[in-house]
Amino acid sequence: MAEQNLDILADRVAELIIGAKKIVVFSGAGISTESGIPDFRSPGGIWSRFDPDDFTYQKFVADPEARRKQWQMIGEGHLTHLAEPNPAHYAITELYKLGRLDCVITQNVDNLHCKAGVPAEMVFELHGNLQQAICLSCGKLYPFERIKSRLDGGEEIPDCEECHGMLKPNAVLFGEPLPRDVLEEASHRSSNCDLFIVIGSTLVVYPAAYMPIYAHQAGAKLVIINLSPTPMDMEASVLITAKAGEAMSKIVDKVKEKIG
Q: What is the largest CA-CA distance in the chain?
A: 60
Average pLDDT over every residue of 7-13: 96
- What is this structure's pTM? 0.89
Give 77's pLDDT tier (boundaries 50, 70, 90).
low
Q: Look at residue 185 in the predicted model and tell me its pLDDT.
A: 98
The answer on pLDDT for 4 being more than 60 is no
Give 83's pLDDT tier (boundaries 50, 70, 90).
confident
**Of 3.10.450.40, 2.40.40.20, 3.40.50.1220, 3.40.980.10, which CATH number belongs to 1-37+85-127+178-260?**
3.40.50.1220
The pLDDT tens digits for 185-218 are 999 999 999 999 999 999 999 999 999 999 999 9
Q: Look at residue 174 in the predicted model and tell me its pLDDT.
A: 84
Average pLDDT over every residue of 44-63: 72
Note if 127 is an active site residue: yes
Matching fold, domains 1-37+85-127+178-260 and 38-78+128-171? no
Lowest mean pLDDT among 13-27, 165-179, 225-239: 165-179
The percentage of the chain sitting over the pLDDT mark of 70, rounded to a whole number, equals 90
Give 242's pLDDT tier (boundaries 50, 70, 90).
very high
Q: Say which of 78, 81, 113, 127 is annotated catalytic.
A: 127
Give 14's pLDDT tier (boundaries 50, 70, 90).
very high
**Of 3.10.690.10, 3.30.70.100, 3.40.50.300, 3.30.1600.10, which CATH number belongs to 38-78+128-171?**
3.30.1600.10
Q: Give the residue extent of every domain in the chain.
A: 1-37+85-127+178-260, 38-78+128-171
The pLDDT tens digits for 143-196 are 988 988 899 899 999 999 999 999 999 989 888 889 999 999 999 999 999 999
